[in-house]
Structure 1
Amino acid sequence: MTTTISNSILTASIKHAGAELFSLKNNQNKEYIWEGNPDFWGKHSPVLFPIVGTLKNNSYTINENEYHLPRHGFARDMEFELIEKTGNSAVFSLKSNNDTLKKYPFEFELQLIYTLEGTSLKIEYIVINTGDNKMPFSIGAHPAISLPENFENYSFKFEKEEPLKYNLLENDLISNKTEILKTTGNLVPLNYKLFENDALVFKTLESNSLTILENSKPYVQVDFEDFPSLGIWTKDQAPFVCIEPWFGYSDTANNSGDLFKKEGIIVLDDDQTFHSQFSIKIL
């Protein structure tokens, strides 16, 4: 099943499977979200929950009990319920169940709210701890922006001029090795060599937004003020780039496995609610 919302400028379509955005078009029918060709990557914009990235040995412990979670968690592979809809907005809900409790022993409700406002699509994440215990989790976005022209015709413009230090990944885990992304001012020309070691993982940034330029002209802007970390990723020769606001990231190689002690983890008290949002603006 899918749900479509629209305003006078944009139309967005969301799959109930994973509550995943798979289309964002303007009123000239131009598509801005990656089509999901599995020859490169078969997804469009999955939600990452209750972890972001990869766990060491794909496992973690709670109270000395071992559990297993796949890369980026399970929410992206589950069916969400549409619980509210207007012309320009839709609210999707996923609640813990017997299957999730076997992999993640916490009761929760995860809501994704999509709202079109002018030339922007606002995406909100609400996480509710519906259980009686503290609940550790990470959450993140993974929208793939379609790049219809040659990859080298695009560049990034970060909101601020800053040292763009990122951590390298080794075997899908965060390493202690860091590099500085070369910039001219706050501009970064795109090329596939940037991603030869997988994603660029920025644990912290001063910038709260990133603009993709097409032939030096503003194309798409992603605003992520609520999020402390950012991942940027593509596949070799793929005509898209993912701009990924995150709370949390992959384990380090020396991670203890205790989810409560995981770097970047959020811990919700019982009956507490977490809220964050980011937006994709068509320029």
Structure 2
Amino acid sequence: MDLSVVAVAFMVAVVVGLTGMGGGALMTPALVLIFGIPPLAAVSSDLVASAVMKPIGSWVHWRRRTINLQVVKWLVLGSVPAAFCGVLILKWMGPGEHVQDAVRMALGVALLVSATLMVFRSYLKMAERAKRRRGVLAPEVNTGPMRIRPLPTVCLGIIGGVVVGMTSVGSGSIIIVGLMALYPALKSNQLVGTDLFQAVPLVTAAALGHTFFGDLDLGLTIPLLIGSIPGVYLGAQLSSRLTGGFIRRALAFVLLASGLKMLNVDNISTATVLVAVLVLAPVAWMLLRKRLGLPALATTDIRQVRKTLADR
């Protein structure tokens, strides 16, 4: 058994338990880039590990009643068959090196899309917070049952299912951003809870599809499970004590780097892009905060909130 795979699986699972994101987006590229695992085997093994990790986080949200089962129903209606279709697309492409290259390229694109959507999600949340502070949006209140949009929700499930079936990436990024657009009334904890709960049948379907078609490598999957189970439990425990904001920003940066390497971008170009992001992204984010009427630094915002609470 490769203990280094166990260690990496443990670290990735801690991030998943802490933020609800990053399973396939971190583990699959790590297996390919660090351990040299063929992309198809990496996707298959990671999906099986995710099928074990997802229910742990889902159970926490089930107990807290932060899951919208109506939304889950329509998502699963589209995502579960679509996940099988994603696997069938890979099998239809046939065996050979060209399939591995296609999976690698698809994974690279999915990683870059996931990183972009993570940043976009953070911006939407920041913009909503700014509007509430200015009184443009009313405080969140319970106004009765939320209107469900079946057709768009099923379509979102289909898109997410195909991407997850082919790359193992997307259940915690593509779908959750889609939910934000379709159901703006959902609170943050409801978004995460609903996304995690629907990801259980989605990832399980994709994992079963890869297992049935012979892509599963048990010698790789078992170390992933040994590291993932305690890691996701620890992350779930830490999630109530630590902020996931920094972890999410670091995760988006890692997704960008992994996506570029999956697309075979050379080292100099990759390093140039990453350095530019490290230098320019904080400045751009501060300008966006100022434009929305928030303090340039989040720490200043936090101090102001604490001072307001202390004065009451």
- For Structure 1 versus Structure 2, the TM-score category normalised by the shorter chain is under 0.3
| Structure (1/2) with the larger helix percentage | 2
TM-score in terms of structure 2 length: 0.24
Which structure carries more strand by proportion? 1
- Relative contact order (alpha carbons < 8 A, sep ≥ 6): 1 or 2 greater? 2
